[in-house]
Copies of this chain bind each other. A is one copy, B any other.
Amino acid sequence: MTKNGKRILIALGGNAIKQAQEKGTADEQFKNVSITAEHIVRMIQALGNDDRLIITHGNGPQSGNLALQQDIAKEQIPPQPFDIVGAMTQGQIGYMMQNTLENMLTARGIKVPVISVVNQVLVDRNDPEFFGENASKPVGNFLTEEEAMKMKAEKGWIVKKVKPNAPKPWRRTVPSPDPIANVEAEAIKVLVNAGTVVIASGGGGIPVVQEDGRLVGVEAVIDKDLAGERLAEVVNADVFLVLTDIEKAKLNFGKPTESSIDAMTLEEAKRYLSEGHFLAGSMGPKVKACIRFIEWGGKEAIITSLDKAMDAIDGKTGTHITKG
């Protein structure tokens, strides 16, 4: 993909849209998105004319709420499978983000189009996550043992006891397969090349598998940072910026010897990951996505918090991963 200028792929964490303690009203979510958008607009202002920003985001709280609504109403309205739930949250979050970004850019007199696209991500039907009890991503509401066993028997759900001492300790878990490729790569490239701020691969993308030459949606949830890395490849990003709730990744996380990481070479990042410094389902996939980005040929991956993003791009903070 030919380009001039620098391209930055931003992967936004769940707290960019819904705070954990919130119920998820539209007002709450628009307020959070505004805070996020303020930072993004500052980044856009700091960019040159040939630079490009591409955005992806999680959808955990939104898909959880939607799946729960569908489950509660299931006697009246057929619930939609997880691929469609994912697609619906792409519309929901995409709208909130693009509306807010457009408004802020307009207020500053910046004429940059913003658009969210509906976006599928290819995964492998033979991914280990699809087999036996391997599915690793807890979704939806917490269940009693009775409820969990009922859903297991009736619908073949994989259920896991995720909070052993809680009154409702069980939860459905769905496969979280590894993303292979972004399906709508061509259209996304067209938009980015034309100068549009694109919001894509939302919630890790809508998971699809190859089946007799067709792409078919599956009941799964793809990690949004790993899917974001595939998007970074598509748009030929220079910088892969993974935003989370802490300023820097940690060694010996949660132990007395805990320390912040300012920089890691590719080899260091791989070693730390294999040594178990990063939590699975949390910092683990973020570091893995950064490793993959550098191995693909990206210049720099950064892990930091939203409010430090500008400083991190300037090299003042965050955890920086480079080839070394």
Q: In the complex, which residues of chain B have a beta carbon less than 8 angstroms from the beta carbon of A70? A: 69
Whether B120 contacts A99 by the Cβ 8 Å rule is yes
Whether A102 contacts B23 by the Cβ 8 Å rule is no
- A68 part of interface (Cβ distance < 8 Å): yes
Whether B194 contacts A190 by the Cβ 8 Å rule is yes
Give the contacts of A180-206 with B (CB-CB under 8 A).
Answer: 183-184, 186-188, 190-191, 194, 196, 199, 206
With A77-B68, A94-B91, A196-B190 in contact, do A215 and B117 touch (Cβ < 8 Å)? Answer: no
Whether A94 contacts B99 by the Cβ 8 Å rule is no
Q: How close is A93's CB to chain B, nearest CB, in angstroms?
A: 9
- A25 part of interface (Cβ distance < 8 Å): yes
- A45 part of interface (Cβ distance < 8 Å): no
- A81 part of interface (Cβ distance < 8 Å): yes
Give the oligomeric copy count: 2
Give the residue name and chain of the B residue nearest to A88 (CB).
B88
Whether B118 contacts A91 by the Cβ 8 Å rule is yes
Q: In the complex, which residues of chain B have a beta carbon less than 8 angstroms from the beta carbon of A213? A: 103, 106-107
Q: In the complex, which residues of chain B have a beta carbon less than 8 angstroms from the beta carbon of A183? A: 102
- A84 part of interface (Cβ distance < 8 Å): yes
- A214 part of interface (Cβ distance < 8 Å): yes
- A110 part of interface (Cβ distance < 8 Å): no
Whether B23 contacts A77 by the Cβ 8 Å rule is yes
Whether B92 contacts A80 by the Cβ 8 Å rule is yes
Give the residue name and chain of the B residue nearest to A183 (CB).
B102
Give the B-binding residues of A (Cβ under 8 A).
23-26, 65-66, 68-70, 72-73, 76-78, 80-81, 83-84, 87-92, 94-96, 98-99, 102-103, 106-107, 113-118, 120, 183-184, 186-188, 190-191, 194, 196, 199, 206, 208, 213-215, 217
